[in-house]
Amino acid sequence: MANKNGNGKSLESWIWDAACSIRGAKDAPKYKDYILPLIFTKRLCDVFDDELNRIAAEVGSRQKAFELARADHKLVRFYLPLVPDDFEQPVWSVIRMLSSKIGESVTSYMRGIARENPLLQGIIDRVDFNATTHGQRDIDDDRLSNLIEAVSTKRLGLDDVEADIIGKSYEYLIRKFAEGGGQSAGEFYSPPEVGTIMSRVLQPEPGMEIYDPTCGSGGLLVKCEIAMEESAKGIKEGGHSCPPLHSELNGYPPCNGGLENPPPVPLKLFGQEYVPETWAMANMNMIIHDMEGVIEIGDTFKNPKFRNRQGRLRTFDRVVANPMWNQDWFTEADYDNDEFDRFPPGAGFPGKSSADWGWVQHIHASLNDSGRAAVILDTGAASRGSGNAGTNKEKGVRQWFVERDLIEGVLYLPENLFYNTTAPGIVLFLNKAKQEEKRNRVLLVNASRIFEKGDPKNFIPDEGLSRIVETLIGWKEEEKFSRIVDHAELKKNDYNISPSRYIHTGKAETYRPIAEIVEELNAIEEEAKATDKALQEILRQLGVGI
């Protein structure tokens, strides 16, 4: 993205430089909870200025515009109770001109904005810019002043930067934070190319309802909106450009784009996130992208917030998700006591060591009768338990999904894409209404070698991304890349649905990533421990000495 504004730098470069103004690139991710709300507020201020100028052009002065907006907040999308001494000065100058008690004042201003705008409550007012730890300011006034000045160097109003450009820049900043975020990064960020694959393959249509039960910063939902708009409009260089139909940050009527290119009806986006700071990040991300969305806060597994009027689980046209892999803190009781029929007999509890298939069951229950889903899982979720003696609960859930013909495809990803692990991961595609020609069959794609080395992570190049998407949509077979496997063969292989089991990418007879082999060895070890424990209990009951 090469969009420029002000000092000649791209918005991406500017936004990262602003983040680094506190303590440099290495420490910038530590301050994301301060930086993101401040840039978000700068966007709000500049858009509010644009709206005031529009009103002033009609009523004769900025002072009158301020008075009208204060009296009737409906005249603007977000009313900001920031009034400069000189009405002609930008609204942001109230923050920029602070010279003392900066942290205390910024916190007060943020909370004032949230009080006036219920949609922003808990989003920009949750951070205390004056916070201390053991008597030491977390971010002192000098560094905060540097950050404010860095943010001030570009204008982010309606006439300066379109919603999609500022949205992309904001996503870029979130990605940069993920790069330095270590293990915590996976809680709020999925690799963008994986999100693009998921959204394009799901082919969301205008007006559809899309849901992410573990939405993080909202990136997968944003990708779905972008995929829908690209599909609906077509990507035409130099074509007609319209403001979004549902404009979140302006009061202008939508442009119809001319009869030849009307704007598409936006998606209705729904997400739930457990971590409060990440929930706030997702809300800011949605608003700054100018997209319609409802992001709820809470534990989706134990307390899903989206319900219908009867109190049952609400269902959606599409579901995308990247739940934390191999969560081991949900018990069998959590499944047995479920009130939403998410874990049916024959499937249900997949074992204590991993909730991956518990999440898949929640996602399946959240789809309407023609719904489709894409969910990112650990590679072991595709194979754990298969080929081992005896029963395995996780394999049993996989079998349940295969026998009900709910799995449309499985994509095996390259290694080292994700920010909190080097493991490759898979994308599982569900379809509740498979076409006749796809029934009782599954498309497996092994894209383990479709990547380029990056710093700090590998990435899927554009041509590889297009190849993967076209293969998944077109259900195409290609040697050493994709295969259509019928259910009889999956059953023969004990319901192992890992593409690496069926598609060998190298010259050797078989190619299986070490991470997957380790997963299976761990599963075998766990089974052996469980068997040994059961045997000891039997011997104890028989009174046999051990």
Tokens for 239, please give them. 């074509």
Q: How many CB atoms lie within 10 A of CB 211?
A: 29
The angle that helices 163-179 and 32-59 make with each other, rounded to 10 degrees, is 170
Question: Largest Cα–Cα distance in the chain?
Answer: 97
Chain centre to alpha carbon of residue 323: 10
Tokens for 229, please give them. 């708009």
The pLDDT, as a whole number, for residue 266 is 94
Please choose, from the candidates 244, 264, 268, 300, the residue with its C-alpha nearest in 3D space to the C-alpha of residue 77. Answer: 244
Query: What are the phi and psi torsion angles at 410 (to 5°)?
Result: -135, 125
% residues pLDDT > 70 (the chain): 87
The CA-atom distances, in angstroms, between 285 and each of 6, 164, 169 are 23, 11, 10
The pLDDT, as a whole number, for residue 237 is 41
Q: Is 182 left (phi over 0), alpha (psi -120 to 50) or beta?
A: left
Q: Are the beta carbons of 453 and 419 closer than 8 angstroms?
A: no
Mean pLDDT of all residues in 134-162: 93
Confidence of residue 1 (pLDDT cuts 50, 70, 90): very low
What is the CATH T-level fold of the domain 11-159, as seen in this structure? Ferritin (1.20.1260)
Q: Which tens digit of pLDDT belongs to each residue from 91-100?
A: 999 999 999 9
The pLDDT, as a whole number, for residue 537 is 74
Mean pLDDT of all residues in 517-532: 67
Lowest mean pLDDT among 226-235, 298-307, 390-399, 408-417: 226-235
SS3 372: strand
Q: What gap in Å lies between CA 16 and CA 243, rounded to an integer?
A: 26
The pLDDT, as a whole number, for residue 499 is 97
Quote the radius of gyration of the chain (alpha carbons, Å).
Answer: 26
Break the chain into its structural domains and give their ranges.
Answer: 11-159, 176-519
The pLDDT, as a whole number, for residue 517 is 66
Residue of 469 and 250 predicted with greater confidence: 469
Q: What gap in Å lies between CA 260 and CA 79, rounded to an integer?
A: 35
Lowest mean pLDDT among 188-202, 223-237, 291-305, 493-507: 223-237
Mean pLDDT of all residues in 370-374: 98
Degrees, nearest 5: CA angle 256-260-264: 50
Task: Look at residue 536 and tell me whether its pLDDT is greater than 60.
Answer: yes
The pLDDT, as a whole number, for residue 236 is 43
The pLDDT, as a whole number, for residue 539 is 73
Lowest mean pLDDT among 11-15, 232-236, 385-389: 232-236
CA dihedral sign of residues 305, 308, 309, 310:
negative
Mean pLDDT of all residues in 506-514: 55
Degrees, nearest 5: CA angle 112-115-117: 110
Lowest mean pLDDT among 235-244, 300-309, 495-504: 235-244
Task: Look at residue 542 and tell me whether its pLDDT is greater than 90.
Answer: no
Q: How many CB atoms lie within 10 A of CB 14?
A: 22
Residue appearing with tokens 């997400």: 271
The pLDDT, as a whole number, for residue 362 is 98
Tokens for 74, please give them. 């409906």
Task: Look at residue 246 and tell me whether its pLDDT is greater than 60.
Answer: no
Extract long-range pairs of 225-231: CB within 8 Å, 24+ residues apart.
225/266, 225/267, 225/269, 225/289, 225/291, 226/164, 226/199, 227/196, 227/199, 227/200, 227/202, 227/203, 228/199, 228/204, 228/264, 228/267, 229/264, 231/203, 231/205
State the DSSP string of 321-371: E-PPTT-----HHHHHT-SS--S-TTSS---TT--HHHHHHHHHHTEEEEE
Strands 132-133 and 136-137 turn out to be antiparallel
Please choose, from the candidates 247, 191, 183, the residue with its C-alpha nearest in 3D space to the C-alpha of residue 217. Answer: 191
Q: What gap in Å lies between CA 322 and CA 376, rounded to an integer?
A: 5
Q: Are the beta carbons of 139 and 34 closer than 8 angstroms?
A: yes
Strands 367-377 and 426-431 turn out to be antiparallel
Mean pLDDT of all residues in 20-46: 89
The pLDDT, as a whole number, for residue 275 is 92
The CA-atom distances, in angstroms, between 529 and each of 22, 276, 386, 491 are 51, 38, 17, 26
Q: What gap in Å lies between CA 72 and CA 95, rounded to an integer?
A: 23
Mean pLDDT of all residues in 154-161: 91
Confidence of residue 189 (pLDDT cuts 50, 70, 90): confident
Lowest mean pLDDT among 19-23, 57-61, 329-333, 496-500: 19-23
| Superfamily covering domain 176-519 | Vaccinia Virus protein VP39 (3.40.50.150)
The pLDDT, as a whole number, for residue 387 is 78
Query: What are the phi and psi torsion angles at 129 (to 5°)?
Result: -70, -5
Q: What gap in Å lies between CA 485 and CA 475, rounded to an integer?
A: 11
Q: Which tens digit of pLDDT belongs to each residue from 48-87?
A: 999 999 999 999 999 999 999 999 999 999 999 999 999 9
The pLDDT, as a whole number, for residue 182 is 61
Confidence (pTM) = 0.86
Q: Which tens digit of pLDDT belongs to each residue from 451-506?
A: 999 888 899 999 999 999 999 999 999 999 999 999 999 999 999 999 999 998 77
Lowest mean pLDDT among 244-253, 440-449, 532-541: 244-253
Task: Look at residue 240 and tell me whether its pLDDT is greater than 50.
Answer: no
The pLDDT, as a whole number, for residue 506 is 73
Average pLDDT over all residues of the chain: 88
Please choose, from the candidates 369, 213, 188, the residue with its C-alpha nearest in 3D space to the C-alpha of residue 294. Answer: 213
Sheet holding 293-297, edge to edge: 293-297, 268-273, 209-212, 316-321, 367-377, 426-431, 407-412, 441-446, 482-486
% residues pLDDT > 90 (the chain): 71
The pLDDT, as a whole number, for residue 358 is 97
